[in-house]
Amino acid sequence: MNKNTYAAIMAGGIGSRFWPASRTAKSKQFLDILGTGRTLIQATYDRFLKICPKENIFILTHTDYIDLVKQQLPDITDEQILTEPARKNTAPCIAYSAFKINKLNPDANIIVAPSDHIILNEPEFVRIAELAVDFVSKNNALATLGIRPTRPDTGYGYIQYFEDETSEGIHKVKTFTEKPEKEVAKQFLKSGDFLWNGGIFIWNVKSILSSLEKNLIQVYDAFVEAEPDILTPNEKDAVEKAFITCPSISIDYGIMEKANNVYTLPSSFGWSDLGTWASLYEEKEKDYFNNAVNGNNVVVYDSNNNIINVPDKKLVVIQGLENFIVVDTDDVLLICSKDEEQRIKEFTHDIKMKKGEKYL
């Protein structure tokens, strides 16, 4: 295990597409949404323990979630929790992690990963991640793990890469494309040189700091000003001040789409971003009638192709449903066609207008 390898796990999002299970007070990453006995952030932390020392794992999260992080990851120290005072997308919090880790170890190589994705083939993920870390440690490169697509999915961004590759099977990136239309996604899949953007990045700390200075100077300058106070009792106040001046911008748009030293590793390790209830349905085990059930007291009649997520303590009887999402919590019941899942954001918007934020 390389002492220069660090992990920055992003855990500040709300996960609104998993409403009503995922709520502002307890977002998707803090839920055992797969029914495995471990929450998504716990599973992500466990995965990185196979790659780097536990003291090299940092959690990037919103101030609202500090207590949840401490509760679910008791081995994490306060110094390893990097808090965002405001949600400003991924670039500012990633910049914060780079500046802090640089003060700890200027030779650091950092893997940045979301906390709410699943990876089924962990040995392959570890192999690919370590190969990428070795590459960025020797080259001025920003690497991303590109997922080999299995279908023309319109819910993911795509990475196009050049055919030429390094000896490690790493390719220079040609283009990034945001979520495409269905026909475009079909062409991407057919061409064979496009990958899904899995949002997992690897870089040497010097390379990302240099790229921030070149491509996101406002973010870079904000943390240059904060840097003297990082690793001191004044860190919290300095970071809050830095976030005020930072724009809300993603690392994809701010850095990866602009930099000319971006590389990708075509990867297949059973990845899913679990972005929607339908994507969870694809990953869950199904019963004889293709129902994916999370709940110990569910009785189903004449129903198929549903995803059902209900409390263990409640007896739930379902009859005559096909291709539905059924999610029950203490105070909200959602019954929605899987084909209309994209309307969940519409539902939550209307609920906020009519009922306030109590149910969000």
Same domain? For 264 and 317 the reply is no
Domain span at residue 45 reads 5-272
Task: Tell me, yes or no, whether 191 lies in a domain.
Answer: yes
Q: How confident is the model at residue 94 (pLDDT cuts 50, 70, 90)?
A: very high
Same domain? For 220 and 286 the reply is no
DSSP letters spanning 159-192: EEEEEEE-TTS-EEEEEEE-S--HHHHHHHHHHS
Model confidence over 280-311: pLDDT tens digits?
888 888 999 999 998 889 999 999 999 999 98
Same domain? For 312 and 220 the reply is no
Task: Tell me, yes or no, whether 237 lies in a domain.
Answer: yes
Task: Tell me, yes or no, whether 110 lies in a domain.
Answer: yes
Over residues 78-102, mean pLDDT: 93
Angstrom distance (rounded) from CA 217 to CA 230: 19
Strands 271-272 and 118-119: antiparallel
126 in helix, strand or coil?
A: helix
Same domain? For 296 and 182 the reply is no
Over residues 136-164, mean pLDDT: 87
Same domain? For 173 and 282 the reply is no
Task: Tell me, yes or no, whether 229 lies in a domain.
Answer: yes
Same domain? For 93 and 199 the reply is yes
Task: Tell me, yes or no, whether 124 lies in a domain.
Answer: yes
* pTM of the shown model: 0.90
Choice between 105 and 16, residue whose per-residue pLDDT is larger: 105
Q: Last residue of some domain: 272, 287, 315?
A: 272
343 in helix, strand or coil?
A: helix
Q: What is the pLDDT of residue 167?
A: 67
Q: What is the pLDDT of residue 81?
A: 96
Same domain? For 228 and 292 the reply is no
Same domain? For 176 and 61 the reply is yes
Choice between 152 and 294, residue whose per-residue pLDDT is larger: 294
Same domain? For 338 and 241 the reply is no
Q: Residue 46: pLDDT above 70?
A: yes
Same domain? For 56 and 154 the reply is yes
Q: Residue 155: pLDDT above 80?
A: no
237 in helix, strand or coil?
A: helix
Over residues 266-285, mean pLDDT: 85
Q: Last residue of some domain: 272, 303, 320?
A: 272
Contact 129, 51 (CB under 8 A): yes
Q: Last residue of some domain: 250, 272, 294?
A: 272
Contact 122, 163 (CB under 8 A): no
How does DSSP classify residue 33?
T
Give me 274's structure tokens.
């679990």
Q: What is the mean pLDDT of the chain?
A: 90
Task: Tell me, yes or no, whether 171 lies in a domain.
Answer: yes
Count of the separate structural domains present in the chain: 2
> Alpha carbon of 294 to those of 15, 17, 32, 149, 246: distances in Å?
18, 18, 10, 27, 41
Same domain? For 96 and 242 the reply is yes
Q: What is the pLDDT of residue 276?
A: 82
Q: If we measure between CA atoms, which residue out of 310, 348, 339 comes closest to residue 35? A: 310
Task: Tell me, yes or no, whether 265 lies in a domain.
Answer: yes
Same domain? For 160 and 247 the reply is yes
Q: If we measure between CA atoms, which residue out of 199, 188, 66, 87 comes closest to residue 144? A: 199
Q: What is the pLDDT of residue 122?
A: 94
Task: Tell me, yes or no, whether 360 lies in a domain.
Answer: no
First vs last C-alpha separation in the chain: 42
Contact 105, 6 (CB under 8 A): yes
Over residues 136-141, mean pLDDT: 94
Lowest mean pLDDT among 165-169, 178-182, 233-237: 165-169
Which CATH number characterizes residue 248's domain?
Answer: 3.90.550.10
